[in-house]
Amino acid sequence: MNIIDELSWRGAVNQMTDEEGLRKLTEEKSISLYCGVDPTGDSMHIGHLIPFMMLKRFALAGHHPYVLIGGGTGVIGDPSGRKTERQLQTIEKIHENAEKLKAQFMHLFGETAEISFVNNYDWLRQIDLLNFLRDYGKLFSVNTMLAKEVVSSRLEAGISFTEFSYQILQSIDFEHLFMHNDVQVQIGGADQWGNITAGIDTIRKMHGSDAMAFGLTIPLMLKADGTKFGKTAGGAVWLDPDKTSPFEFYQFWLNQDDADVVKYLKYFTFLGQEEIASLAEAVQNEPEKRLAQRRLAEEVTAFVHSPAALQEAQNITDALYHGSIADLSEHELEQAFGKMPTVDVANEENNVVDWLVGSTIYKSKRQAREDITNGAVTINGVKVVSLDETVRPHKNSNGKYIIVRKGKKKYTLARVQR
C-alpha cells in the first residue's frame, strides 16, 4: 500500500498541498521529509506524538525522515493556538530543553540511519539582521502574512513583531533542508498549515515555481464527545516518565472510550488493517472485555517507554485490580501510589490500631477497630486480621513505605521518615 493511502486509511491526513503530486513522488523514489518541535518545554506530550509517528511510518515505508528540534525558533515560540504572547525563555533553558527532547526522540526512534536529527539553531544563528531582511524579508508580503489564520486570529488581541516573524523563520527551515538535505515534504499539525505553505512559497520564490516541495498536516485530535484529546484531571499526558509514570500512561490508554479506541489504534499503533478490524469487531460484540483498549495500551506504552515499563504497568494494574500489592517492587509501589493520598509517619513499629490513628488515616480508635474486625483494612497487601498486629514497612520498599487500603479502593501511602 502506498504510504499516502495508508495514512488516509488511518485518518491521519487533514490537508495536503498536492495529493496527486505527493503520491506520485512517494511511488517514484525514496523521499526525505521532516517535522519539527520547539523546545519550549522539557518534554513532549502525547499530542506531539502523532506527527512523529507519521514520520516513523514513512521510515517503515522506505523514506528518510528528519526530526527538527527548534533550538532557534524555540527562542521566539510559535504563536499557533495561542491567544496571548508567549513568555520567552532564556537561551540556556531552550538549549537544555532541546537536549532533553532529543533524548526522548532517540529513545522513541533509536539512533539509526533511518532517521536524522537536526537543530535549526545551527543555521538560524548565522543569519544577521540585515541579511534576514534583505534575503528573506523581501520574499514575504505583509498582506499575505496577515491573512494566515495563525496571525489573523491574534490581531484583535495583538501580536508582537517577534511572534509575527515566526513563519518566516520556519520557512527558512524548510528552504534550508530542501537545499542541503533534499527534504521535499514538511509534516505538521493542522495549526501548522499556514507556516508550511509559507515555506513552500519561499522555496518556489527562491528556486523556481516548479520546485518539488509539499506539505501535509494531520487532523486536530478530538475525542468522540468533541473535547480535546490528551488531557486528564492531572493535566497533560507527558512522554517523560518522571512527569507521567508508565503506569499512569498505560492507564490513560486502557481507559479510552469505546467510541474512540479504534481511531486511536489507527493513529498510535503500527498494527495492520486486519488486526485493527478484528479489534473493532470485538468492540462491537464484546465491549466488556476491552480487548481493543488493552491492545492499545500495550502497544503505545511499549513504544513510548519500553516492554519492561509495560510489564511493570501491567503488574501494578493487576495488583490493584485484585487488591494484592504484597509482591510489587519499590519502583512499582512509587508508580502506583505516588500520587495517591499521602501521610508522613515516624520510623517506628506500632500496634495497628494506635498506628492507624496516629498516622491520621483514621480519626478514632473505635472506627479503626470496627473496620479491622469487619475485614476492611489491608496493610501492604495483607488483610489485617488481629487488633494486636504490628505495622511494618512494605517488604519490598527498603523501609520507605506502608500502604493502607480501607474498603475496596481507598488507598493511602504512608512515607516512613528516617
Cβ(182)–Cβ(89) below 8 Å = no
**Does 184 carry a binding-site annotation?**
no
**Does 170 carry a binding-site annotation?**
yes
- Non-local (6+) Cβ contacts of 179 within 8 A are 207
d(CA 250, CA 183): 35
The C-alpha cell 501511602 sits at: 413
Torsion sign over Cα 148, 150, 156, 157: negative
CA angle 142, 147, 149 (to 5 degrees): 130
- Non-local (6+) Cβ contacts of 342 within 8 A are 412, 413, 414, 415
Q: What is the DSSP letter of 17?
A: S
Work out the number of other CB atoms within 10 angstroms of the CB of residue 146: 12
Q: What is the DSSP letter of 228?
A: B
**Does 34 carry a binding-site annotation?**
yes
- The alpha carbon torsion through 386, 392, 397, 400 (nearest 10 deg) reads 130
- Residue 209: phi and psi, rounded to 5, are -65, -15
**Does 87 carry a binding-site annotation?**
no
Strands (E), 207-336: 214-218, 231-232, 235-236
Cβ(295)–Cβ(265) below 8 Å = yes
Cβ(40)–Cβ(97) below 8 Å = yes
Cβ(390)–Cβ(383) below 8 Å = no
Burial of 353 (0-12, 13-18, 19+ CB in 10 A): buried
Which residues belong to the annotated binding site for L-tyrosine?
34, 166, 170
Which residues belong to the annotated binding site for ATP?
231
Which residues belong to the annotated binding site?
34, 166, 170, 231
